[in-house]
Chains A and B, each alone.
Chain A
């Protein structure tokens, strides 16, 4: 995970300064072009949108599309729903996986490997196959169109990655620190909350960010369980701008720009954590 500065020519086939600029241009273009294009569309007036050939940068930027995005759909409400669902699922999966990870990493446990594997096995079940029975269960419990209908499944879907990350962080904390705390009068769980969790804070952060983004992005369950406007999350709400025959693209673009802001802020602030979380899951998994 130590890898922000790398000097090796891993690929070994690209050398020279000009090639380096060329490489950077391709990578940046690939990553940012769609977002840039949506941003440009969001600021275009109707008349400019239909111009041919297409203008790449808006000539006379307008905020009308953003006004329309807020007028046509309850966008702030969708944002709120997404935030409630993603943050609750994140908190719940962090709590549950921290307990489990501590038991797996630290306690005298037989079948440690089997227990960890059976938690990780959750990620092998296709979400669509869970959707069908969960739909029936949520319907039976009267939980369709509620936050719980999404928070409960998202919590469980995030358990594998959160547990995996937290186990590896817990294992790295020296046992002596914990023992010292226990000699000083802390109990084992006291030591968990006061010593282990704070020291594993980077791991908790990493797991939390991944859990948040996963829950924020989820579409299938959100579409199937919460169709009522009051409980729609962003990915579903965004689809509602299209009419039967009309696609108000500038309005949709403006809504997409607003909807992307939270995630962009998260990856801007936590980019190194996110990368280390994603790759540690991949390399150790």
Chain B
């Protein structure tokens, strides 16, 4: 370009190297960041879980072997937190799949204005979980909440939702399903739109009922998109924190595993014990992923 051959920009000189070196250089930032923010911390986590690390006492950390894990197995609060987490997983994962499928089927109808429909699916996805928790805490307010108002209008008794662990868990699950079903619906909607129309036309010719078309064409063809959405949904349900934190029930009755980990780490600064708890959650997540992946593989055959 220039006859005087000026000093070439740094990046251009960098690019004269061979392709493998260049690739390594381009990948380096990603892997350096991942090492600092994920790999090293996870190694620290596992190490800490075998140690007594209490920042509050200022005592140096001490190797205790499996003591943290033994403590955990005998800890009623851990089991309650695990039970609450499992309830959220078992209720909200199928719940958001069913609601999400319903929303996807409804939204897949030939509307003239797709914009508002799409927005109504995006809004719950974009609303921060912590906001969703607050909004639903207000919905379920015992005096002025809209839920109790509706109950009164249809002649049912209003409830003091956050005085009862069971009712609080219900409210938490409803809020979680609302927040997550629209993402599920977006994924399933994309899946629905890949199903060739000709399949339904052929089924119409064969005289198959709409319901048969749904169970024999739509559902089986949706399975791949469902599985992918379900993996992520289950993993996030295991980590439930924001919504239950913003919708507290009586005492710590509705504490989730993530909330218990947070309490031990940030409030008590007991990093040994909270690390052991976190390793348990990590194990749950890994187990979930492997189980799903087996299904995905089986499905692929």
Using CB atoms and an 8 Å cutoff, list the residues of chain A in contact with chain B. Answer: 1, 3-15, 19-20, 23-24, 26-28, 30-32, 34-35, 37-38, 41, 49-50, 52-54, 95-97, 99-100, 102-104, 107-109, 115, 118-119, 122, 124-137, 139, 152-153, 155-157, 159, 163, 185, 187-190, 193, 213, 216-220, 223-224, 234-236, 238-239, 247, 249, 252-253, 256, 259-260, 263-264, 266-268, 271-272, 274-275, 278-279, 282-283, 285
Contacts of B118 in A (CB 8 A): 271-272, 275
23 contacts between A and B (CB under 8 A): A11-B218, A12-B213, A13-B214, A31-B120, A31-B121, A31-B122, A37-B138, A49-B144, A50-B144, A53-B149, A53-B153, A103-B22, A108-B19, A128-B278, A129-B285, A132-B261, A137-B44, A189-B12, A217-B126, A219-B245, A267-B122, A267-B126, A283-B194
Report which of A8, A19, A132, A220 forms a contact with B197, defined as CB distance below 8 A: A8
Contact of B186 with A275 in the complex, beta carbons under 8 Å: yes
B83 within 8 A of A: no
CB distance from A142 to the nearest CB of B (A): 14
A interface, over-half SS: helix
B198's nearest neighbour on chain A, judged by CB, is A8
- Chain B window 202-243, contacts with chain A (Cβ cutoff 8 Å), 1 for yes, 0 for no: 010000001101100110000001001100100100110110
CA distance A96 to B36 in the complex (A): 14
B271's nearest neighbour on chain A, judged by CB, is A136
Contact of B138 with A252 in the complex, beta carbons under 8 Å: yes
Contact of B200 with A278 in the complex, beta carbons under 8 Å: no
Contact of B33 with A6 in the complex, beta carbons under 8 Å: no
CA distance A122 to B181 in the complex (A): 24
A220's nearest neighbour on chain B, judged by CB, is B241
CA distance A128 to B194 in the complex (A): 36
Contacts of A137 in B (CB 8 A): 40-41, 44
Tell me which of B62-70, B87-95, B99-107, B163-171 binds A: B99-107
Contact of B41 with A134 in the complex, beta carbons under 8 Å: yes
Contacts of B281 in A (CB 8 A): 126, 128-129
CA distance A163 to B115 in the complex (A): 28
CA distance A44 to B115 in the complex (A): 30
Contact of A10 with B108 in the complex, beta carbons under 8 Å: yes
CA distance A24 to B105 in the complex (A): 11
Report which of A23, A219, A263 forms a contact with B129, defined as CB distance below 8 A: A219
Most buried by B among A31, A99, A127: A31
Contacts of B86 in A (CB 8 A): none
CB distance from B267 to the nearest CB of A (A): 10
Contacts of B109 in A (CB 8 A): 9, 11, 14, 19-20, 23-24
A2's nearest neighbour on chain B, judged by CB, is B193
Contact of B29 with A100 in the complex, beta carbons under 8 Å: yes
CB distance from A50 to the nearest CB of B (A): 6
Interface residues on chain B, number (Cβ under 8 Å): 116
Using CB atoms and an 8 Å cutoff, list the residues of chain B in contact with chain A. Answer: 1, 11-12, 14-16, 19-20, 22-23, 26-27, 29-30, 33-34, 36-38, 40-42, 44-45, 48, 53, 55, 103-111, 114-132, 134-139, 141, 143-144, 146, 149, 152-153, 178, 182-183, 186-187, 189-195, 197, 200, 203, 210-211, 213-214, 217-218, 225, 228-229, 232, 235, 238-239, 241-242, 245-246, 257-258, 261-262, 265-266, 271, 274-275, 278-279, 281-282, 285-286, 289
Contact of B119 with A127 in the complex, beta carbons under 8 Å: no
Contact of A267 with B131 in the complex, beta carbons under 8 Å: no
Contact of A3 with B193 in the complex, beta carbons under 8 Å: yes
Report which of B34, B149, B262 forms a contact with A128, defined as CB distance below 8 A: B262
Contacts of B194 in A (CB 8 A): 283
CA distance A32 to B135 in the complex (A): 12
A50's nearest neighbour on chain B, judged by CB, is B144
Most buried by A among B30, B108, B132, B197: B30
Report which of B26, B107, B126, B138 forms a contact with A264, defined as CB distance below 8 A: B126
CB distance from A66 to the nearest CB of B (A): 17
Contact of B122 with A275 in the complex, beta carbons under 8 Å: yes
Contacts of A131 in B (CB 8 A): 261-262, 265, 278
CA distance A264 to B126 in the complex (A): 8
**Contact A8 B138, CB 8 Å, known A50-B143, A220-B262, A264-B123:** no
CA distance A216 to B130 in the complex (A): 11
**Contact A27 B130, CB 8 Å, known A10-B192, A122-B38, A282-B187:** no
CA distance A12 to B216 in the complex (A): 11
Contacts of B245 in A (CB 8 A): 219, 223
Contacts of B229 in A (CB 8 A): 282
CA distance A132 to B289 in the complex (A): 22
Contacts of A50 in B (CB 8 A): 143-144
Contact of B111 with A24 in the complex, beta carbons under 8 Å: yes
Contact of B241 with A128 in the complex, beta carbons under 8 Å: yes
Contact of A235 with B131 in the complex, beta carbons under 8 Å: yes
Contact of A9 with B200 in the complex, beta carbons under 8 Å: yes
Contacts of B152 in A (CB 8 A): 53
B44's nearest neighbour on chain A, judged by CB, is A133
Report which of B138, B225, B239 forms a contact with A38, defined as CB distance below 8 A: B138
New A-B contacts (16) at CB < 8 Å, excluding given A8-B197, A115-B27, A159-B34: A5-B114, A6-B108, A10-B218, A23-B107, A32-B120, A34-B135, A100-B29, A122-B38, A124-B285, A188-B22, A217-B128, A219-B245, A235-B129, A249-B138, A259-B131, A274-B122
Contact of B128 with A100 in the complex, beta carbons under 8 Å: no
